[in-house]
Chains A and B, each alone.
Chain A
Amino acid sequence: MTKRLVVDPSWCKGCGICAEFCPKKVLKIVKEKVTVVNPDDCIKCGLCELRCPDYAIYIEEVRDEE
Chain B
Amino acid sequence: MASELITKYMREEHLPHIWCPGCGHGILMRDVAQAVKNLGIDQEKVCLVSGIGCASRAAGYMDFQTMHTTHGRAIAFATGVKMARPDLEVIVIAGDGDCAAIGGNHLIHAARRNIGITVIVFNNDIYGMTGGQYSPTTPTGEFGTTAPYGNIDRPFDIAVLAAAAGASYVAKGTAYHATQTIKLIENGIKHKGFALIDCAGICATYYGRKNKKGSAVDMMKFQRDNTITVEQAKSLPREEREGKFILGKLVENDFPEFTDEYQKIIDRLKEGK
Chain A residues at the B interface, C-beta cutoff of 8 Å: 6, 8, 10-11, 13-17, 20-21, 49-56, 58-60
- State whether A53 touches B26 (Cβ < 8 A): yes
- Chain A residues whose C-beta falls within 8 Å of the C-beta of B21 in the assembled complex: 13-15, 53-54
CB distance from B209 to the nearest CB of A (A): 14
Q: Which of B19, B179, B215 contacts A53 (CB 8 A)?
A: B19
Residues of A contacting B: mostly: mixed
- State whether A56 touches B216 (Cβ < 8 A): no
- Chain A residues whose C-beta falls within 8 Å of the C-beta of B23 in the assembled complex: 53
Q: Which of A8, A10, A13, A51 contacts B27 (CB 8 A)?
A: A51
A11 and B27 alpha carbons, distance in the complex (Å): 14
- State whether A55 touches B25 (Cβ < 8 A): no
- State whether B25 touches A53 (Cβ < 8 A): yes
- State whether B2 touches A54 (Cβ < 8 A): no
- Chain B residues whose C-beta falls within 8 Å of the C-beta of A53 in the assembled complex: 19, 21-27, 216
- State whether A55 touches B3 (Cβ < 8 A): yes
- State whether B16 touches A17 (Cβ < 8 A): no
Q: Which of A11, A15, A55, A58 contacts B217 (CB 8 A)?
A: A15
- State whether B217 touches A17 (Cβ < 8 A): yes
A38 and B126 alpha carbons, distance in the complex (Å): 38
- State whether A20 touches B217 (Cβ < 8 A): yes
- State whether B1 touches A13 (Cβ < 8 A): no
A52 and B175 alpha carbons, distance in the complex (Å): 10
- State whether B179 touches A50 (Cβ < 8 A): yes
- Chain A residues whose C-beta falls within 8 Å of the C-beta of B1 in the assembled complex: 6, 8
- State whether A16 touches B216 (Cβ < 8 A): yes
Q: 1/0 per residue B210-252: CB within 8 Å of A?
A: 0000011100110000000000000000000000000000000
For B176, give the chain A residue with the smallest CB separation: A51
User: A13-B21, A49-B3, A50-B178 are known contacts. Are A20 and B220 too (CB-CB below 8 A)?
Assistant: yes
- Chain A residues whose C-beta falls within 8 Å of the C-beta of B10 in the assembled complex: 55
Interface flag for B106 (CB, 8 Å): no
A52 and B19 alpha carbons, distance in the complex (Å): 12
User: A49-B3, A51-B176, A55-B2 are known contacts. Are A15 and B30 too (CB-CB below 8 A)?
Assistant: no
- Chain A residues whose C-beta falls within 8 Å of the C-beta of B24 in the assembled complex: 53
CB distance from A44 to the nearest CB of B (A): 13
- Chain B residues whose C-beta falls within 8 Å of the C-beta of A8 in the assembled complex: 1-2
For B19, give the chain A residue with the smallest CB separation: A53
- State whether A55 touches B220 (Cβ < 8 A): no
For A47, give the chain B residue with the smallest CB separation: B178
Chain A to chain B: the 7 pairs with minimum beta-carbon distance, closest first: A53-B26, A15-B22, A13-B21, A58-B3, A15-B21, A50-B178, A11-B16
- State whether A16 touches B215 (Cβ < 8 A): yes
- Chain A residues whose C-beta falls within 8 Å of the C-beta of B6 in the assembled complex: 55, 58
A60 and B2 alpha carbons, distance in the complex (Å): 10
User: A8-B1, A51-B178 are known contacts. Are A13 and B217 too (CB-CB below 8 A)?
Assistant: no
